[in-house]
C-alpha cells in the first residue's frame, strides 16, 4: 500500500487565528474563558481547549455576567453581539476575517437597496451569523432548484453572498442559475470566496486522480470536510470521512493499493498523522514511503485582535 497526502490540507489561517485567540484569552484572563459555540468544527480541538479551561456554551445566558466570552470563527449575528453587551460580557470576536468580509458585502448590498440572497446551508452557524448581520429579509439558496422557487421578479435588484465552506462546483452552478434568472444580479466571484476552501478542493481533486480511495480527516459537522469528501467522490473514487484513526474500516482498504489522505480546514495535522500510522498498522506488509503531492503553499496569516496581540 502507498499513502499519498494532499497539499494543502488541515488548518487554514482563520482556524489558526481562532484557536490562538482562545489560547491568548486563557493566558491573559485565566480560566474559565467561555466560547459561544464550538470555536471551530473539530471535537479534538474543542476537547483540547476544554482541558485548558475553555467552557463551550450554546446560549449566552449560560455565561456568568461580566465574564469573558469568545465568538467562534463562524461569526455571530448583531443580536448576539447586542445581547453580550447588555449582559456586561467581555466579548472577543474570533470570526474569520473572510467571514467578516462576507458580512460587509451583505451589509453593503442591503444599503444599496438590493434584495439579498445567501447561498449556503440552512442552520449552519456561518449562515445564521451572516443573515443576522443585516436588517432586511434574506432569501436562502441551497440548491439550484431553489432559484426557481424564489418569489422575486426577474428584474428585481438582487445580490448574493455565499457561505465560505461550500463546494465550489455547486456554488458555480447556483450562481450561473441566479444570473440566468436575474440578469442584473451582483455578487462576489467564486474564486474570491475563501482561499482555503478553493485550495483544498483543488488539491483533493488532484489527489483523487492518483488513488483508489480517499480518506478525509475531519468532523462530521464540518462543512468544508464534507465538501472535500463530495469533491473526491465526484472525481470517481470512493471517499470516506473519518474523525480519527479509530473510524477506519479495514474493509475499505481491500483492493485499494493507493490511499489518499487529506483533512478539513479545522483538522489538526496530528490526526492526519495518526490516520497514516493506523493505515500502516492495518496493512500486513510495510508501506512504501508516504508521498505528499505538490500544491499551493499557503502563507496567509491573520492578526489577532489588538487586545490579545503579543507585545
Q: What residue has cell string 485582535? A: 305
Chosen domain end from 96, 118, 141: 96
Residue 286 has pLDDT above 90, yes or no: no
Alpha helices in the chain (DSSP H): 13-29, 43-51, 78-86, 97-111, 125-131, 144-149, 168-181, 195-208, 223-234, 269-282
Sign of CA dihedral 121, 176, 191, 201: positive
| Parent domain of 278 | 2-11+195-292
CATH of residue 80's domain is 3.40.50.11270
Chosen domain end from 66, 96, 126: 96
Cross-strand pairs, 33? 54
Q: Exposure of 35 by Cβ count < 10 A (0-12 exposed, 13-18 middle, 19+ buried)? A: buried
- Summary count for the chain: helices (H), strands (E): 10, 12
pLDDT single digits (tens) 211-246:
999 999 999 999 999 999 999 999 999 999 999 999
Residue 40 has pLDDT above 90, yes or no: yes
State CA 171 to chain mean position distance: 15
Cross-strand pairs, 160? 117
Residue 299 located in a structural domain: no
Phi (first) and psi of residue 77, to 5 degrees: -80, 165
Q: What is the mean pLDDT of the chain?
A: 96
pTM: 0.95
Question: H or E segment at 236?
Answer: none
Chosen domain end from 191, 223, 251: 191
Residue 248 has pLDDT above 90, yes or no: yes
Check residue 287 and give its pLDDT: 75
Residue 116 located in a structural domain: yes
Answer whether 59's CB lies under 8 Å from 109's CB: no
Residue 298 located in a structural domain: no
CATH of residue 142's domain is 3.40.1010.20
Q: Catalytic site residues? A: 126
Q: How large is the average pLDDT for residues 164-172? A: 94
Domain count of the fold of the chain: 3
Residue 294 has pLDDT above 70, yes or no: yes
Amino acid at each position: 500500500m502507498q499513502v499519498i497526502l494532499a497539499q494543502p490540507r488541515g488548518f487554514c489561517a482563520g482556524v489558526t487565528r481562532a484557536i490562538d485567540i482562545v489560547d491568548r484569552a486563557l493566558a491573559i484572563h485565566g480560566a474559565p474563558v467561555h466560547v459561544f459555540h464550538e470555536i471551530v468544527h473539530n471535537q479534538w480541538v474543542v476537547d483540547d481547549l476544554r482541558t485548558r479551561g475553555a467552557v463551550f456554551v450554546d446560549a449566552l445566558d449560560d455565561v456568568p455576567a461580566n465574564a469573558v466570552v469568545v465568538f467562534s470563527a463562524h461569526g455571530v449575528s448583531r443580536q448576539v453581539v447586542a445581547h453580550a453587551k447588555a449582559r456586561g460580557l467581555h466579548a472577543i470576536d474570533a470570526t474569520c476575517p473572510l467571514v467578516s468580509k462576507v458580512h460587509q458585502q451583505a451589509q453593503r448590498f442591503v444599503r444599496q437597496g438590493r434584495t439579498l440572497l445567501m447561498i449556503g446551508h440552512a442552520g449552519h452557524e456561518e449562515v445564521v451569523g451572516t443573515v443576522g448581520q443585516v436588517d432586511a429579509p434574506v432569501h436562502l439558496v441551497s440548491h439550484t432548484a431553489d432559484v426557481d422557487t424564489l418569489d422575486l421578479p426577474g428584474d428585481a435588484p438582487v445580490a448574493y453572498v455565499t457561505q465560505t465552506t461550500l463546494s465550489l462546483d455547486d456554488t458555480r452552478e447556483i450562481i450561473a442559475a441566479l444570473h440566468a434568472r436575474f440578469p442584473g444580479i451582483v455578487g462576489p466571484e467564486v474564486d474570491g470566496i475563501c482561499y482555503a476552501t478553493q485550495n483544498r478542493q483543488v488539491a483533493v481533486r488532484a489527489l483523487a486522480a492518483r488513488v483508489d480511495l480517499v480518506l478525509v480527516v475531519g468532523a462530521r459537522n464540518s462543512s468544508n470536510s464534507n465538501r472535500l469528501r463530495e469533491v473526491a467522490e465526484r472525481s470517481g473514487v470512493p471517499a470516506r470521512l473519518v474523525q480519527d484513526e479509530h473510524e477506519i474500516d479495514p474493509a475499505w482498504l481491500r483492493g485499494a493499493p493507493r490511499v489518499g489522505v487529506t483533512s478539513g480546514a479545522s483538522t489538526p495535522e496530528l490526526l492526519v498523522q495518526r490516520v497514516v500510522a493506523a493505515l500502516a498498522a492495518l496493512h500486513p506488509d510495510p508501506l512504501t514511503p508516504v508521498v505528499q503531492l505538490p500544491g499551493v503553499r499557503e502563507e496567509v496569516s491573520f492578526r489577532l485582535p489588538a487586545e490579545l496581540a503579543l507585545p
